[in-house]
Amino acid sequence: MEALFSDDAELRFMLAFESALAAAQASVGDIPASAAETIQGCCAETDWDITWLKTQTLLAGNPAIPFVDQLRQRVRQKDPEAAPFVHRGATSQDVIDTALVCQLSQALTTIRADLDELINLLTSLKQVHQHTPIMGRTLLQQALPITFSDKLTGWLSGLFRSAERLDRVSQECLVVQLGGPVGNGQSFGEHYTSICEQVAATLGLGFTTTSWHTQRDRLTDLASTLGILNGSLGKLANDIILLMQTEVGEVREGAAKGKGGSSSMPHKRNPVTSTFMVAIAHRTPGLVASLLSAMNQPHERAAGAWHSEWSVIRELVKLTAANLHHSNDLIRTLEVDTDRMQQNLTTQP
């Protein structure tokens, strides 16, 4: 995820957008085919000065402005007549939002695969412990006997719903951004719909001719889905922490050299992986709230609210990926003490 959301990767997706845009415009006759070929050739180059782009971003307010300037200069050096066709009709937010959606598309594919792995691990564990008795607990007190499978079923139910949500937002929310300076697409001329459709298809994104420059519900929908998933993972981890308590001792995180120790109490075996997961689950709601707050964007382009999303959505995706990584490690190596479960059943008040 760090690589996917790096400056290098963002630049690569911005170049992919400009290449796809030029190709689409050439295909409908809006720009010369030779100009599109030159633009695409420059977009395929790899020797870009990212340090300069970062410096100029602080002056321009976003990375697209210096990026387009640098791309146009490269095109001009190869074919002066092609330079005016670079980024034709588009605006900075088109390239930045579309690059972000490309990153999110790849990220959600990985997150979905990791979630599938977790679901499979829990399903296998559920089959093993279908009839393993354990004390059910309500309000942190012993209640009535259940099976360990019952507890696993509860964890799985939330994760199944998160998988369905991820599938839905991947279908509905990962759409191209192409609206032009004021978002109405008029700058692209009569072939606007065809251009949008072709750019989306080239980049593997959903197709829409209604720009979402200041309509951020799709992005917030995606963020909320990730927030809910982290909440479910945090609940799972919190249950593990409680089951690991010395007085309960019904499960343990997998042992590893140096894992779970204490600097002052060598007899302790602390929950480590679960603690990471709970910590992430506590952090992510605030990130989702930030994106909900950023939905309040004025008119056709926001000053500040849009910019506030950039680091927040990236952090949320990275944390979600980390949480799933920890979750799979936790369940893959989980130690289940069925004898202790039985003992706690027989010693209930």
DSSP string of 191-247, one letter each residue: GHHHHHHHHHHHHT-B--SS--SS--HHHHHHHHHHHHHHHHHHHHHHHHHHHTSTT
Q: Which of 269, 283, 301, 340 is catalytic?
A: 301
Domains 1-88 and 91-346 share a fold: no
| Residue 265 pLDDT grade (very low, low, confident, very high; cuts 50, 70, 90) | very low
**What angle separates helix 64-78 from helix 33-43, to the nearest 10 degrees?**
120
- The pLDDT value recorded for residue 327 is 98
Q: Is 303 helix (H, G, I), strand (E, B) or coil?
A: coil
CB count in 10 Å sphere of residue 90 = 25
CA 326 from chain centre, in angstroms, equals 16
Partners of 142 in the β-ladder: 137
Phi/psi of residue 344, nearest 5 degrees: -65, -30
CB count in 10 Å sphere of residue 180 = 19
In this structure, which amino acid lies at residue 39? I
- The pLDDT value recorded for residue 191 is 98
- The pLDDT value recorded for residue 347 is 80
| Known active-site residue 216 | no
CB 180 within 8 A of CB 90: yes
**Torsion-angle region of 89 (φ positive above 0: left; ψ -120 to 50: alpha; else: beta):** left
pLDDT digits (tens, 9 = 90+) for 202-235: 999 999 999 999 999 999 999 999 999 999 999 9
- The pLDDT value recorded for residue 348 is 62
pLDDT digits (tens, 9 = 90+) for 145-196: 999 999 999 999 999 999 999 999 999 999 999 999 999 999 999 999 999 9
| Known active-site residue 262 | yes
Q: What percent of the chain has pLDDT over 90?
A: 94
Helices (H) and strands (E) in the chain, counts: 11, 4
Q: Is 9 helix (H, G, I), strand (E, B) or coil?
A: helix
**Closest listed residue to residue 43, CA positions, set 96, 88, 86, 7:** 86
- The pLDDT value recorded for residue 260 is 57
Q: Which of 262, 293, 311, 332 is catalytic?
A: 262
What CATH architecture applies to the domain 1-88? Orthogonal Bundle (1.10)
Kindly state the average pLDDT of the residues 10-36.
98
CA 96 from chain centre, in angstroms, equals 16
Instruction: Tokens 């369905």: give the residue.
Output: 164
What CATH architecture applies to the domain 91-346? Up-down Bundle (1.20)
Model confidence at 262: pLDDT above 80: no
Domain ranges of the chain: 1-88, 91-346
**Closest listed residue to residue 56, CA positions, set 97, 92, 15, 20:** 92
Q: What percent of the chain has pLDDT over 70?
A: 96
Q: Is 130 helix (H, G, I), strand (E, B) or coil?
A: coil
- Residue 199, token pair as written in the block: 């750019």
